[in-house]
Structure 1
Amino acid sequence: MAIAVGAVAVCAAVAWADPTTPGGVIPPCPTYSLFGILCPGCGSSRMLYSLVHLDVPAALHYNALGLVALAVLTVSFGLWTWSRARGTPMPRWTRYRWPPHLVLILTAMWFVVRNIPVAPFTALRI
């Protein structure tokens, strides 16, 4: 219950702060501000803001990998809650060796591809 309440509180805070407006409450990404490159998390607050307003295409534009990660986390949380309510154990992803490696590879690929300065990769820039 605490996780669900925390998620709703974060969504409410992002909806209030409106990260799509420059100079708002939420500060810009430090990686982009200092180095001029987009980190894998750049656009995440704007993605969440778009999702709160049910604008999925804009959320995909701001951070597609973050949207996929959020969907996986939401499904995992739902499955975990369902298995706890039924009293049955949920299969654990931690017993497999590949999930951390896959997450690291996908994040590194997103970081590199997003910063390639030629078309069609420039469409991934925000």
Structure 2
Amino acid sequence: MAALAGLAGCCAVVLWADPTTPGGALPVCPTKALLGLTCPACGGLRMVYSLLHADVPAALHYNALGVPAAVLFVWGMLTWTLTRLRGRPVAGWQHQRWTSPAFAVVLLAWFVVRNLPFAPFVELRV
């Protein structure tokens, strides 16, 4: 319940702060501000804001990798909750051997692709 309350609180702050408005209450990405690079999570707050408004195309525009990551996060939270409620482990994607290496490869590839200086990859920057 505490994790759910924390997540709801974070979503409420994102809704209140409206990260799609420039110069808002939420900070800019430190990687982009300091290094000028688009990190794998850049556009994540705007993606969450769009998802909370059920605007999936806008969410995909802001961070195309973040949308499936959000789905995996919800799935992981559900399996974690079911494990706690049942008192026995429930199999989930996060318990597989390949999870950590696969996430590392995908994040690295997304970081590189988002920073390529030619079309069509320039369109992935936000």
User: Is TM more than 0.5 here?
Assistant: yes
**Aligned residue pairs: how many?**
126
Please identify, of 62-71 and 105-114, the stretch whose mean Cα deviation from structure 2 is larger. Answer: 62-71
1:108–1:90: structure 2 CA closer, same or farther, 3 Å change rule? Answer: same
Aligned equivalents of 1:82 and 1:66: distance in 2? 24
Query: Residue 96 of structure 1: CA displacement?
Result: 3.9
Match of 2:27 in 1: 27
Match of 1:108 in 2: 108
Query: Residue 94 of structure 1: CA displacement?
Result: 6.4
Match of 1:10 in 2: 10
Query: Residue 82 of structure 1: CA displacement?
Result: 2.8
Aligned equivalents of 2:53 and 2:3: distance in 1? 21
Match of 1:90 in 2: 90
- With structure 2 as the length reference, what TM-score do the two structures score? 0.91
Is there any run of 5+ residues in structure 2 with no aligned partner, and where?
none
- With structure 1 as the length reference, what TM-score do the two structures score? 0.91
Taking only aligned residues, the RMSD between alpha carbons, in angstroms, comes to 1.7
1:31–1:72: structure 2 CA closer, same or farther, 3 Å change rule? Answer: same
